Amino acid sequence: MKIGFMGGSFDPVHFGHLVAAQDAYEHGGLDRLVFVPAAQAPLKPGAVRASADARLTMLHAAVSTDARFEISDHEIRKGGISYTIDTVRYLRTQFPDDELAWVIGADQLERLHLWREIGELVKLVEFIVLARPGWPKSERTDIAGLRLRWCQGHLLEVSSTEVRERIATGLPVDFLIPHKTVEYIEKTGLYRSI
């Protein structure tokens, strides 16, 4: 099997994440796609607003009815800063015979050289890169052994920051995040203040 993994804070999960996951699944030749919410992303210190439990609940609400998608709580259970290399080493023990791919946006490709142990990481996974406007298609010849699969997909300009700001100011988010996620946020009062 070819399994794709998509990391992020998902604070909250929004349609940009979900459409990107769908595009990676369809154009990346994946058999499964697993969302991997970070406990704390190393290149975004202090960026997470919602608790780990809340982010997991919102992700489950968003994807639980779609058989293509799964969720791994490995990074959240581990706690602390989530380095992709550590997660991929763990995933390799869980899926020793499968082909693993890590899904990133073209904007992340530009910072890939900053990822911890990138030389080792490229030996363990292929990167599925989702094209984004304003980010040139690059082969990153400066990272030896890097395997890239570019995917052109549906591009939605929405961010978790924008969603949180809209909620805090009382603006609707119904067309930015899944309905079950909206219901959870309304029920819990999450993101009401910035």
pLDDT tens digits along 139-188: 777 899 999 999 987 878 899 999 999 999 999 999 999 999 999 999 99
* Per-residue pLDDT band at 83 (split at 50, 70, 90): very high
Backbone angles phi, psi at 102, to 5 degrees: -115, 125
For residue 70, the enclosing domain spans: 2-157
* Per-residue pLDDT band at 76 (split at 50, 70, 90): very high
pLDDT tens digits along 30-75: 999 999 999 877 656 556 789 999 999 999 999 999 999 999 999 9
> How many domains, in total, are found in the chain?
1
| 167 found inside a domain | no
pLDDT tens digits along 108-142: 888 899 999 999 999 999 999 998 766 667 777 78
CA 63/CA 31 separation, integer angstroms: 16
DSSP letters of 147-170? Answer: -EEEE--------HHHHHHHHHTT
Residue whose token pair is 């119904």: 174
pLDDT, position 62: 96
Distances from the Cα of 123 to the Cα of 127, 144, 147, angstroms: 11, 9, 9
Residue whose token pair is 């992020």: 8
pTM over 0.75: yes
| 81 found inside a domain | yes
CA 58/CA 141 separation, integer angstroms: 38
Provide the CATH number for the domain around residue 24: 3.40.50.620
Nearest in space to 33 (alpha carbons), one of 81, 66, 79: 66
| 130 found inside a domain | yes
